[in-house]
Structure 1
Amino acid sequence: MAEPLKRMLFGLGDEHVIVEPESGQLLHPEALVAFERLRADARAAGFDPLVVSGFRSFERQCTIWNGKASGQRPLLDSAGCPLDTAQLTARQTAFAILRWSALPGASRHHWGTDFDVVDAAAMPTGYRPQLTPDEVADDGLFGPFHCWLDARIAAGQSYGLFRPYAEDRGGVAPERWHLSYAPRARELQQLLTPARLCELLQECGLALCDTVCADIAEIYTRFVQVPDHCYPQTDQR
């Protein structure tokens, strides 16, 4: 694999992303164009979409992962309740982390095609988004915006943006706030193979690396791969 592509695929560099000027977040140029078009429509409907997390580097994802593996960051169960890492096996710890945090090297945020979005128009002064299920529930703070977005995606009017974690498939917890630009994300996912992931993780000395690589087939299917049927059937350009 060519070095520039490897850096893009695994978040080892940020040469492939540009600044979204209103948030300061980094996005893939094509994802930014799609978002700007969607934002214009949303503003006409009374919403104000704001990107709160765009490109995330491999190093940053490692910090999150290792912090949870060591107990320095909270580790949560599927209901959002704290877990005691001291009572878990290495495999249980790894799978608990994966429920809420991407495996370094496998985060779609590495590509800049994926980003987390909230409705700035709904936020009280000084409010800091938490990206929790309660915020994005139909009756939550950002519920009206996401209901509007549901309709746009269903109608094929979201310019190629979709929710890769719209439903619970037994892996990553649903993330209604997470949008992905399908045309480029689909291409990059095809390059992200289990073998390439393990090779990278073994090079960087990730916490629980041996455990992850021993179960990489199941991890890839449950927590990395977004099934093809979840992607929009057209580019929606």
Structure 2
Amino acid sequence: MNTSLFAQLTGQTDTHIVSNATDCPVHKALVEPWCLLAERAAARGIQMRVASGFRSFSRQLMLWNAKANGTRPVLNDRSEAIDVATVDDETLVFAILRWSALPGASRHHWGCDVDVYDAAAVPRDYALRLVPEEYLPGGPFQLLSRWLDESGLMDDGFFRPYAEDRGGVAPELWHLSYRPLADEFASAMNQAQLQSLIENTDIALKDAILDNFHSIYSKFVVLPC
């Protein structure tokens, strides 16, 4: 793999990103299809906005380390914070991975994956949490979630990679991926290169990550069919 592609794949460069075309920085080739999808949503009264687009390696690393040291919450499957001081390193690694990608392995590095919400459904000062309850029946974004289910996303090239719980990443009903780009990045993923990157990174829980790397890669990095 050439160094430029690996840098894009792992979020170590933003040369593939534009920062002023949507709410958040995204891949330059995502802008047009995203705008078309947002226009279709608007016709249904949904103001679909990007809460998170491109995320750099350094940003993902900061989030990971903050969760590992307890300065940011680590959630269980009920969206409740766990006490990181009460679990061993291996358990903590897998708990973090349910909601946060390993640095270098986040689909947000690619810029073609976005977290979305409906700005029309909440007041401007709403504190977005990005938890399932917001997108399930009774939550403020239930209309958005239902529309995403029924809108024929695949016809526009989009899909929801974490719509179901397959035992790896927890369901993220807010996460959209643009397949024409995402499939190219996903096919370039390489376990040995990613492991080498982690080995040479100052990351919390490194020993536990490396001891379980094969399991982590197959369960949380490779998207099940």
Q: TM-score range by the shorter chain?
A: over 0.9
Q: Does residue 215 of the first structure (1) align with residue 207 of the second (2)?
A: no
Q: Distance in 2 between matches of 1:55 and 1:35?
A: 14
Once the two structures are superposed, residues 125-164 of structure 1 have per-residue CA deviations (whole angstroms, 9 ceiling, x without a partner) of: 322322121111133111111111111236x43x111100
Q: Does residue 166 of the first structure (1) align with residue 163 of the second (2)?
A: yes
Tell me the residue number matched to 2:200: 203
Where structure 1 has 5 or more consecutive residues not aligned to the other structure, the ranges are: 230-237
Q: Distance in 1 between matches of 2:92 and 2:149?
A: 33
- Partner of 1:47, secondary structure, is coil
The two structures have a TM-score, normalised by structure 2, of: 0.95
CA contact (8 A) 1:138 1:146 kept: no
Structure 1 outlier segments of 4+, above 6 Å:
none
Question: In structure 2, what residue type is equivalent to 1:169?
Answer: R
Q: Distance in 2 between matches of 1:19 and 1:125?
A: 22
Tell me the residue number matched to 2:117: 118
- Partner of 2:49, secondary structure, is strand
Aligned CA-pair RMSD: 1.4
Tell me the residue number matched to 1:99: 98
Once the two structures are superposed, residues 162-208 of structure 1 have per-residue CA deviations (whole angstroms, 9 ceiling, x without a partner) of: 10000001111100000001111112112212211110011112111
CA contact (8 A) 1:138 1:147 kept: no
CA contact (8 A) 2:51 2:114 kept: yes
- Partner of 2:152, secondary structure, is helix
Q: Distance in 2 between matches of 1:68 and 1:44?
A: 39
Q: Distance in 2 between matches of 1:34 and 1:22?
A: 11
Once the two structures are superposed, residues 88-143 of structure 1 have per-residue CA deviations (whole angstroms, 9 ceiling, x without a partner) of: 11100100110111100000000001010111111223223221211111331111
CA contact (8 A) 1:19 1:27 kept: yes
**1:19 to partner: Cα distance:** 2.3
Deviates more, 1:107-116 or 1:178-187: 178-187
The two structures have a TM-score, normalised by structure 1, of: 0.90
**1:83 to partner: Cα distance:** 1.7
Once the two structures are superposed, residues 5-61 of structure 1 have per-residue CA deviations (whole angstroms, 9 ceiling, x without a partner) of: 1210100011101125351x1111222221111111111121111001000000000
**1:218 to partner: Cα distance:** 1.1
Tell me the residue number matched to 1:56: 55
CA contact (8 A) 1:131 1:177 kept: yes
CA contact (8 A) 1:164 1:178 kept: yes
- Partner of 1:179, secondary structure, is strand
- Partner of 1:205, secondary structure, is coil
Tell me the residue number matched to 2:7: 7
